[in-house]
Structure 1
Amino acid sequence: MAYQVLARKWRPQNFHTMVGQEHVLRALVHALDEQRLHHAYLFAGTRGVGKTTIARILARCLNCEEGVSSNPCGVCSSCVEITEGRFVDLIEVDAASRTKVEDTRELLDNVQYAPTRGRFKVYLIDEVHMLSTSSFNALLKTLEEPPPHVKFLLATTDPQKLPITVLSRCLQFNLKNMPAEQVAGHLRNVLTSEAIPFAEASLWQLGRAAKGSMRDALSLTDQAIAFCGGDLTESSVNQMLGSIDQGKVVAIVSQLQQGNASELLKLIAELSEQGQDFTVALEDLLSLLHQVAICQVLPDAPVSVQFDKSKVLDLAQNISPADVQLFYQMGIMARKDLEAAPDLQAGFEMALLRMLAFRPQQHAGQINTMVAQSKPHGLESPVVMQPEPALAPESDPEPEPEPDQVPKEVQKSKDIAAPTVDSPPWEDEPEYQQQPASELLPVEQHATLMPVQEAPVVKDVLAVQDTSAVQDPPVMSAELILDKPQTDWTLADLSENNWTQVFNDLNVSGMTHGIAANMVFNQRQGTHLQFTLDQGQSSMLNAAHQGRIRQALEDMFGCELKLTIDIGQTEIETPFASRQRREMQHQEHAILSLQEDPNVASLTTAFNGQLDINSVLPVNPIKN
């Protein structure tokens, strides 16, 4: 008996043995079982995904002598004749070779006649998009209202070329490309049934090479059986397909992680000697990086049979996630540029060298190791080396500056220490500008503040500067930086009218400060305080912020309090609105002062100038 290729031998004979396309099979099975049959079906998809196979199974379901169902018997004369391609009432038409309108008219002349053997006369038109415009026009009327004994099954690889008038007359099913895992699983069943030994990695290579087509996968498997002599090993299949050994891909990523350029070039030279396709090598490299990134997020996630899971997990533990993402992004860009390189090997080499060139010099593990090695014996935390203080010339000693003359930036260098671990970064930012400096600090740092005049850093920095150039800067006085309330408040002092003044002494910061600034005081019942928060700020309020506000109020008034914060419209002016109003008035006063200044007026007259009011800033911003 003549040898039958795997693609034909293993063509499914019913819907329940098909692999993939579940979304199409479900609709057809339900329609057949419930006898809800349409007169025209359109199957669209790329080559080898099952368009013609599904159409033939549907024809078998419609004409099985046991009755219309989703599971034909497969043994009756109609099923056997359809399987063998000799059923008289299944008319298969290759539209690519019968594009003329005369061919279509000849075909439609026989539509009116009843079927000879079967229950339905089935017209299977393959590559229907190849028909001419005249042929489509001739087909339209019959396609819309065919006789009850006629079913049209259309197949195409390019549905965009079909007229909308044809699409609207058919039930359209779009078949998907099959994933490599699904293809490899089907090949495993086929080779097991054929009693042909194989390696799992070889199946994955065949599945990837098929690029979503089951027919191509079976054809490649036929070729691999002949090439490998009946034993499908990974190396033999790689050699047949021209694909890269996956061990080499793992070695490349490992050398990238170590930053070893010489070993990388050696590996590339070995690939070149083996005649490997560097486009495929780059695709395999990206696939491995993808698997590593997944394992870094989900160590228990399954790894494709293309790679050894233990090696993938080892790479995931030894390479930083930032490096994986960097390498992957550069590989994606290199894939686009590979064809523009003088040759593929040079393009592949440049891609790997670019990954090394732009890779961060030290990842977190290396930095931690360096810090640990730099610790003196017995020291629990790394030493922060301070620079030697700059000395002023002996012949011209400079007096120590007054606190009011200290620039704002220098004050912050002394009084604002490194941010605490407990404070998230977004809580270090003020809700609006020109807040008192004490409000910019986390609560935990207020107790460690020192007076500005005792700061040696201020002395050292200003010692080498010309103090004559130091003018009164627009900064707040030094006493505002200290955590010292302006008034000794009592609980009885709190009212709707003085909440803004009380708020200015409240010891809160960051986002909590912004929430409190948008509240108004409603009433007090004993130690129960009730506030209303502006509706626009309600999304920021949570239990943590409310707890900080209550703690700050308890610290201010010296007693335990119960705090209620309602959400609503604030009719009374909030501290935030009050500050905005006063800042606007302060700005308008500064502009008016410049406009009335005689020096500015003389310059404007002499040079025909104009005052740019948008550049005007008050010399001394408001304090509270």
Structure 2
Amino acid sequence: MSYQVLARKWRPRTFHELVGQEHVQRALVNALDQGRLHHAYLFTGTRGVGKTTLARILAKCLNCTAKGVGDEGITSTPCGECDSCRAIDEGRFVDLIEVDAASRTKVEDTRELLDNVQYAPTQGRYKVYLIDEVHMLSTSSFNALLKTLEEPPPHVKFLLATTDPQKLPATVLSRCLQFTLKHMPPERIVDHLARVLEAEAVPFEESALWLLGRAAEGSMRDAMSLTDQAIAFGQGRVEHADVAAMLGTLDQRHVLALVEALAEVDAARLLAEVAALAERAPDFASVLDEVTAVLHRLAIAQMVPEALDNGHGDRDALLALAARFTAEDVQLYYQIGIQGRGDMEHAPDLRSALEMTLLRMLAFRPQGVPRPAKTPLPLRGDPGRQGDPGADTGAAAAAPARGPDAAPEVPAPDPGAASPVAPATARAEPEQPAPVAPESAEPPAAMGPAADEEPPPWVEQAPAPEPEPEPSVAPPVDAPASVPGPAAGSPAGTAEAEPEPQPEQAPAPAMAGPSPAEADPPAARPDEAAGAGAPEGVFGHADWLAGFEALGLGGLTRNLAANCVVEDDDGTRLQLRLDPSLSAMKADIHIERMQQALAEHGVVRRLVVEEGPLPEAVETPRQQAERLAAQRHAEAVAALHRDPHIQKLQQAFGARLIESTVKPAAARH
């Protein structure tokens, strides 16, 4: 007996042998079991997914005689042994008329076909017309078919199959029960090929089956044909190297090597991998397409790991690789790859175009992140921690719970208040005279405005001015920093205390804790029990909040610092905590800049930034700025609502205040 190809030998003969079309199988089996049959079925789908096979199985179900002559006999499980089933399988059943519409497109062919519709079946229970590639019929042929297709005799069933249902007239589609067959995923193809090869006793490598599954492009028939070819090519074996050579496709391992070089930011290895690929004379445009496809799968692996397909059998490798990229880098590389693919036709040659595109990915990568960050999978967005400048600040109007290290809420600026240079120093009561700062202390302007007057930290600020070298007495808040403090006969509005001689001291660091000479008397520290400041000599989170603006940080460094909280200070090592969702901002260069800025303000520490969840009771400088901005906005809105002129406008004209457009006046320094 002559050899029978795998595609024909393993063609399904029952619904239960059908692979990958469960939705169609379920509908047809239920219709056959319940006797609810339509007179015209339309099967659509790409090549090789089982349209003609499904029609032949349905023809066997309609004409199987295993249940005896005279019974209804329709079944969803044809026996495959009766004369009708064997005749249909062998292609010699008289009442199954298969028509190739691609070769019989004329209206005369259709009329000749329909002349025999009225006659009863010769051998079977139903006369079944199977019209393949029905979209190839001419308009006249469709018109000739319409009336019979709508009201055929009870013994006739029409089974239509097409790969292009868009070309069918709407009048034909409305007369048929349409089923769309699915595209075969590589996983389903690989599983089926493995079962077939095991039954055929053919040795194989699983990685070779993945190459065949990808090359089949969703067609099970193409996959079986390629497997036949691979068996012949490999002398009875299906091995990865033989299949790759037969298909001439790019080995996925080379593509993953390129992506690993991108993850390591290693330009030398990147060019070496391209040179190794050039020895195989690949299509460099296809190489870039494969790299871009891997980047797309990496983005899916980062966002929704369970949705990552296993089309190459490399799902585990991609999940491990996805953790070595930041989400921003993957999106940037993908965009550069897409743009580079379009520019290839203008390049001198395809290899240089590929190399320039890959090098461009590294060149345009943010330089503030010198080493790839570890990305936790899956990524989870937290609106309250993302640091988006355009985020809604309305939620910040309600201040978070206050922890022992959080900065206390302070009222509006008071001319008689103490300087905010020492964050732990409490603000004096209006009735109490404000103490005079020691001659060695820096003027208040060195640390900027009070905490409740500072602008949001996302606005770029000029560095604080250098302190005056000569010792001076702390001036009032509204007075210039260089003006010395007034004598005992100063105006009453300043509420200055009598100046007392102070011993000379070395200049205290602007961000360090208060010295004993700067401490207020007990009567002037009503909030001491609330834990407003850290112990002496320890840099606490309250100091971090109050002195943040004086650091003069900018750009990405400022954004990183503004989302940190002080976790621990042992005198030599200052540890900050950063939310893990913002780990992409963490980089050595930013930490060095923060450490240098702290040292310039008297906090000489080795700075360490650790990732971890932030305490809910502690707010970051960014959250503090948002809260204060929301408070100022609420006060401005309330003041406008109290304004008598606005009230008159509302009463007279029904005016309405659009609160979102209200902008508080800028704080005066």
- What is the TM-score normalised by the length of structure 2? 0.58
The DSSP-based 3-state class of the residue aligned with 2:192 is helix
1:233 aligns with 2:293: no
For residues 266 and 283 of structure 1, the distance between their equivalents in structure 2, rounded to whole angstroms, comes to 19
Is the alpha carbon distance of 1:334 and 1:447 closer, same or farther for their aligned partners in structure 2, counting shifts above 3 Å? same
**Contact 2:326/2:373 (<8 A) preserved:** no
The DSSP-based 3-state class of the residue aligned with 2:92 is coil
What is the aligned counterpart of 1:445 among 399, 407, 410?
407
For residues 317 and 663 of structure 2, the distance between their equivalents in structure 1, rounded to whole angstroms, comes to 64
For residues 192 and 76 of structure 1, the distance between their equivalents in structure 2, rounded to whole angstroms, comes to 29
Question: For residue 18 of structure 2, what is the amino acid of its counterpart?
Answer: M
Deviations 1:211-253 (A, max 9, x none): 1111111111111111222222212211211222232222211
For residues 494 and 194 of structure 2, the distance between their equivalents in structure 1, rounded to whole angstroms, comes to 79
For residues 167 and 422 of structure 1, the distance between their equivalents in structure 2, rounded to whole angstroms, comes to 53
What is the aligned counterpart of 1:355 among 348, 355, 361?
361
Deviates more, 1:359-368 or 1:115-124: 359-368
What is the aligned counterpart of 1:160 among 147, 160, 166?
166
**Contact 2:324/2:372 (<8 A) preserved:** no
**Contact 1:430/1:440 (<8 A) preserved:** no
Structure having the larger proportion of residues in helix = 1
What is the aligned counterpart of 1:460 among 465, 485, 488?
465
1:197 aligns with 2:203: yes
Aligned twin of 1:541: none
- Report matched runs for 1:246-257 at 5 Å: 246-257=252-263
Aligned twin of 2:55: 55
Give 1:177 deviation, angstroms.
0.9
- Report matched runs for 1:73-92 at 5 Å: 73-92=79-98
Give 1:587 deviation, angstroms.
13
Is the alpha carbon distance of 1:424 and 1:109 closer, same or farther for their aligned partners in structure 2, counting shifts above 3 Å? closer
Aligned twin of 1:14: 14
1:328 aligns with 2:334: yes
- Report matched runs for 1:264-283 at 5 Å: 264-283=270-289
Is the alpha carbon distance of 1:283 and 1:14 closer, same or farther for their aligned partners in structure 2, counting shifts above 3 Å? farther
Aligned twin of 1:43: 43
For residues 301 and 494 of structure 2, the distance between their equivalents in structure 1, rounded to whole angstroms, comes to 54
**Contact 2:640/2:646 (<8 A) preserved:** no
Is the alpha carbon distance of 1:460 and 1:191 closer, same or farther for their aligned partners in structure 2, counting shifts above 3 Å? same
- Report matched runs for 1:195-594 at 5 Å: 195-296=201-302, 304=310, 306-308=312-314, 311-338=317-344, 341-363=347-369, 444-446=406-408, 451=419, 454-457=444-447, 460=465, 578-582=638-642, 585=645
For residues 139 and 123 of structure 1, the distance between their equivalents in structure 2, rounded to whole angstroms, comes to 12
**Contact 1:586/1:618 (<8 A) preserved:** no
Give 1:9 deviation, angstroms.
1.1
The DSSP-based 3-state class of the residue aligned with 1:86 is coil
Aligned twin of 2:145: 139
Aligned twin of 1:111: 117
For residues 478 and 321 of structure 1, the distance between their equivalents in structure 2, rounded to whole angstroms, comes to 55
**RCO higher in 1 or 2 (8 Å CA, sep ≥ 6)?**
2
**Contact 1:88/1:116 (<8 A) preserved:** yes
What is the aligned counterpart of 1:126 among 128, 132, 137?
132
The DSSP-based 3-state class of the residue aligned with 1:152 is strand
Report how many aligned residue pairs link the two structures: 441
The DSSP-based 3-state class of the residue aligned with 2:408 is helix
Is the alpha carbon distance of 1:339 and 1:63 closer, same or farther for their aligned partners in structure 2, counting shifts above 3 Å? farther
Deviations 1:369-415 (A, max 9, x none): xxxxxxxxxxxxxxxxxxxxxxxxxxxxxxxxxxxxxxxxxxxxxxx
- Report matched runs for 1:163-182 at 5 Å: 163-182=169-188
For residues 21 and 251 of structure 1, the distance between their equivalents in structure 2, rounded to whole angstroms, comes to 36
For residues 441 and 277 of structure 1, the distance between their equivalents in structure 2, rounded to whole angstroms, comes to 61
Question: For residue 184 of structure 1, what is the amino acid of its counterpart?
Answer: V
The DSSP-based 3-state class of the residue aligned with 2:178 is strand
Deviates more, 1:159-168 or 1:285-294: 285-294
Give 1:57 deviation, angstroms.
0.7
For residues 282 and 224 of structure 2, the distance between their equivalents in structure 1, rounded to whole angstroms, comes to 23
Give 1:133 deviation, angstroms.
0.8
The percent of aligned pairs where both chains have the same amino acid is 56
**Contact 1:451/1:478 (<8 A) preserved:** no
The DSSP-based 3-state class of the residue aligned with 1:134 is helix
Kindly report the root-mean-square deviation, in angstroms, between the aligned alpha carbons of the 2 structures.
4.3
**Contact 1:428/1:440 (<8 A) preserved:** no
Give 1:580 deviation, angstroms.
2.8
Is the alpha carbon distance of 1:309 and 1:24 closer, same or farther for their aligned partners in structure 2, counting shifts above 3 Å? closer
For residues 31 and 213 of structure 1, the distance between their equivalents in structure 2, rounded to whole angstroms, comes to 27
Deviations 1:245-286 (A, max 9, x none): 232222211111222223212211221221223344334334
For residues 219 and 154 of structure 1, the distance between their equivalents in structure 2, rounded to whole angstroms, comes to 25
**Contact 1:201/1:305 (<8 A) preserved:** no
Aligned twin of 2:507: none
For residues 618 and 262 of structure 1, the distance between their equivalents in structure 2, rounded to whole angstroms, comes to 53
**Contact 1:123/1:150 (<8 A) preserved:** yes
**Contact 1:320/1:363 (<8 A) preserved:** no
Is the alpha carbon distance of 1:283 and 1:217 closer, same or farther for their aligned partners in structure 2, counting shifts above 3 Å? farther
Deviations 1:516-551 (A, max 9, x none): xxxxxxxxxxxxxxxxxxxxxxxxxxxx99xxxxxx
Give 1:110 deviation, angstroms.
0.2
For residues 188 and 127 of structure 1, the distance between their equivalents in structure 2, rounded to whole angstroms, comes to 31
**Contact 2:40/2:158 (<8 A) preserved:** yes
Question: For residue 5 of structure 2, what is the amino acid of its counterpart?
Answer: V
Give 1:619 deviation, angstroms.
12
The DSSP-based 3-state class of the residue aligned with 1:136 is helix
Is the alpha carbon distance of 1:229 and 1:428 closer, same or farther for their aligned partners in structure 2, counting shifts above 3 Å? closer
For residues 76 and 193 of structure 2, the distance between their equivalents in structure 1, rounded to whole angstroms, comes to 25
Give 1:582 deviation, angstroms.
4.6
Deviations 1:466-492 (A, max 9, x none): xxxx999xxxx999xxxxxxxx9xxxx
**Contact 1:429/1:440 (<8 A) preserved:** no
Give 1:321 deviation, angstroms.
3.5
- What is the TM-score normalised by the length of structure 1? 0.62
**Contact 2:325/2:372 (<8 A) preserved:** no
Aligned twin of 1:151: 157
Give 1:298 deviation, angstroms.
6.8
Is the alpha carbon distance of 1:583 and 1:225 closer, same or farther for their aligned partners in structure 2, counting shifts above 3 Å? farther
| Runs of 5+ consecutive residues of structure 1 not aligned to the other structure | 369-420, 465-469, 480-487, 489-543, 546-573, 590-616
Question: For residue 445 of structure 1, what is the amino acid of its counterpart?
Answer: A
**Contact 2:130/2:159 (<8 A) preserved:** yes
For residues 287 and 407 of structure 2, the distance between their equivalents in structure 1, rounded to whole angstroms, comes to 56
For residues 432 and 196 of structure 1, the distance between their equivalents in structure 2, rounded to whole angstroms, comes to 66
Give 1:350 deviation, angstroms.
2.8
Is the alpha carbon distance of 1:128 and 1:584 closer, same or farther for their aligned partners in structure 2, counting shifts above 3 Å? farther
The DSSP-based 3-state class of the residue aligned with 1:74 is coil
Deviations 1:406-427 (A, max 9, x none): xxxxxxxxxxxxxxx9998899
Is the alpha carbon distance of 1:31 and 1:341 closer, same or farther for their aligned partners in structure 2, counting shifts above 3 Å? farther
**Contact 2:324/2:373 (<8 A) preserved:** no
The DSSP-based 3-state class of the residue aligned with 1:446 is coil
